[in-house]
């Protein structure tokens, strides 16, 4: 394990060349040449280490170390290979690198496991090229609706189906059976927040992933001359938005952690200096670890919007387009990982994830747990994304110990 820092440095430098942006950061979008090159390079890397590789229909890459006693029981670890546009080189990618390094270490140190170990490099999670998220993990469980994808295009007008076929992949046949061999899924990821760094912790054991409700909201008033329309006669949608934003944020601050509320995109029209804006489109993102609290709060905000717009003579259209419930991690696995951290004297804490991850697709179907390592200044989805090498190595060390218990011990290391 003392070689983990150097190995992490080497594999990250190697893989980060694929999709490197000349301005810094990386761009590796689903089914692009950069994405294809990364998956094929990983396939060669895995095979050179003696793992058996396989691409599924949509491009998820698996690399397996077969178990000696229970080969039909699979312990899986990995993450997604795609990135956001001009993102960092840790989000997703590190989870794949870590799984490979941990499994390769276990193979070289202890030989063949009792249960099969599998590295997974998932095709897509981010939704950065096409407006669809978790394409990789959803296809593992047959959750994606193929019919929905035929009209999907990227920003350049390239069809999803055309891009998939050009990359050499196709839809998962509807009658493909769902895998029954998965005994556990463990995902190691950077935190993408400041909690671990602020508290001086090196490992986070994730207990749950927050629920999310995302909205598109459209306000329609009346565009008019900025000089000749008295203030009392206006139906100003930016004014309405400002009231909605202020009241909602204040209510969220009073609600307190772990609730978070974000107005991330605002588009007034006609968006010019001398016209009262008669139309405003904005987005709202609300997250919480408790489903009932999330529902209650967002329903209150929706009612507030309607009240404010009613008072101002503004029409409001509220479109809830994402409604994801909070997802708990497997309690037994959480307990087991925490016990590993205690035994190995790791500086850890239990915490929730404020971001979405592939683990939220796995968790309702397979015993699942996540581990976090700190993100410097909480920066992610950005070329400045960084984690101290010593923290990355500690995360791989924790992962290796967990995978050892799950795959090499007769009882799976149950505590």
> Which part of the chain has CATH 3.40.630.10?
4-210+326-408
Give residue for tokens 């590295």. 119
Q: What is the pLDDT of residue 165?
A: 98
- Distances in Å between the Cα of 219 and the Cα atoms of 26, 91, 226, 259, 270 are 36, 35, 18, 25, 13
Q: Domain 4-210+326-408: give its CATH superfamily.
A: Zn peptidases (3.40.630.10)
Consecutive H or E run containing 279 = strand 279-288
DSSP β-bridge partners for residue 208: 328, 352
Assigned CATH for 212-324:
3.30.70.360
Alpha carbon distance 29, 232 (integer Å): 49
Dist. CA 191–CA 182, nearest whole Å = 25
Beta carbons within 8 Å of 287's beta carbon, 6+ residues apart:
210, 211, 212, 213, 258, 259, 260, 294, 354
φ/ψ bin of 86: left (φ > 0), alpha (ψ from -120 to 50), beta (otherwise): left
Residues of each annotated binding site for Zn(2+) = 80, 91, 126, 189, 381
Binding residues are: 80, 91, 126, 189, 214, 274, 287, 381
The answer to whether the CB of 190 falls within 8 A of the CB of 373 is yes
Within 8 A by CB and 6+ apart from 383, the residues are 21, 23, 24, 25, 26, 86, 87, 88
Binding site for allantoate, by residue number, is 214, 274, 287
Q: Which residues pair with 324 in a beta bridge?
A: 212
- pLDDT average per 10 residues of sequence, the chain (415 residues): 94 97 91 98 98 98 98 98 96 98 98 98 96 95 95 96 98 93 98 96 97 96 97 97 98 96 96 97 97 98 98 98 94 98 98 95 98 97 96 98 97 76
DSSP summary character for residue 8:
H
* Both structure tokens of 25: 């950061």
Report the 10 Å Cβ neighbour count for 178.
Answer: 10
Q: Which part of the chain is CATH 3.30.70.360?
A: 212-324
Q: Which residue has the tokens 């909201």?
A: 217
pLDDT of residue 23: 79
Q: What number of helices (H) and strands (E) belong to the chain?
A: 11, 16
Residue 101 parent element (H or E) = helix 93-110
User: d(Cα 25, Cα 39) in Å, to the nearest integer?
Assistant: 18
DSSP secondary structure code for residue 31 in this structure? T
């Amino acid at each position: 394990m003392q070689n983990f820092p150097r190995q992490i440095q080497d594999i990250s430098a190697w893989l980060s060349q694929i999709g490197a942006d000349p301005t810094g950061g990386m761009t590796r979008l689903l089914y692009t040449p950069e994405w294809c090159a990364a998956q094929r390079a990983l396939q060669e890397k895995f095979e050179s280490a003696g793992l058996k590789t396989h691409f599924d229909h949509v491009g998820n890459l698996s690399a397996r170390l077969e178990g000696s006693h229970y080969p039909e029981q699979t312990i899986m670890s990995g993450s997604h290979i795609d990135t956001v546009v001009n993102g960092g080189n840790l989000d997703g990618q590190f989870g794949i690198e870590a799984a490979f390094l941990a499994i390769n270490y276990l193979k070289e140190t202890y030989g063949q496991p009792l249960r099969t170990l599998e590295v997974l490099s998932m095709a897509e999670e981010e939704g950065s090229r096409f407006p669809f998220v978790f394409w990789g993990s959803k296809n593992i469980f047959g959750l994606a609706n193929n019919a929905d994808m035929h009209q999907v295009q990227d920003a350049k007008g390239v069809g999803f189906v055309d891009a998939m076929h050009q990359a050499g992949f196709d839809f998962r046949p509807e009658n493909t059976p769902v895998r029954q061999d998965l005994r556990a899924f463990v995902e190691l990821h950077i935190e993408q927040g400041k909690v671990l760094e602020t508290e001086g912790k090196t490992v986070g054991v994730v207990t749950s992933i927050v629920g999310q409700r995302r909205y598109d909201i459209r306000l329609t008033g009346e565009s008019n001359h900025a000089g000749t329309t008295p203030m009392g006669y206006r139906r100003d949608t930016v004014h309405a938005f400002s009231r909605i934003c202020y009241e909602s944020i204040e209510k969220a601050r009073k609600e307190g952690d772990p609730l978070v509320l974000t107005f991330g995109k605002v588009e007034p029209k006609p968006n010019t200096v001398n016209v009262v804006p008669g139309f405003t489109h904005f987005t709202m993102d609300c997250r919480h670890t408790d489903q009932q609290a999330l529902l209650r709060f967002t329903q209150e905000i929706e009612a507030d919007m309607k009240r404010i717009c009613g008072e101002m003579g503004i029409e409001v259209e509220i479109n809830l387009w994402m409604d994801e419930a909070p997802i708990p991690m497997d309690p037994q696995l959480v307990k087991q990982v925490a016990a590993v951290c205690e035994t190995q004297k790791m500086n850890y804490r239990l915490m929730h994830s404020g971001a979405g991850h592939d683990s939220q697709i796995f968790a309702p179907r397979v015993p699942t747990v996540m581990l976090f390592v700190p993100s410097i200044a909480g920066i992610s989805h950005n070329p400045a994304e960084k984690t101290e090498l010593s923290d990355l190595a500690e995360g791989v060390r924790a992962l290796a110990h967990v995978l050892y218990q799950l795959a090499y011990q007769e009882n799976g290391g149950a505590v």
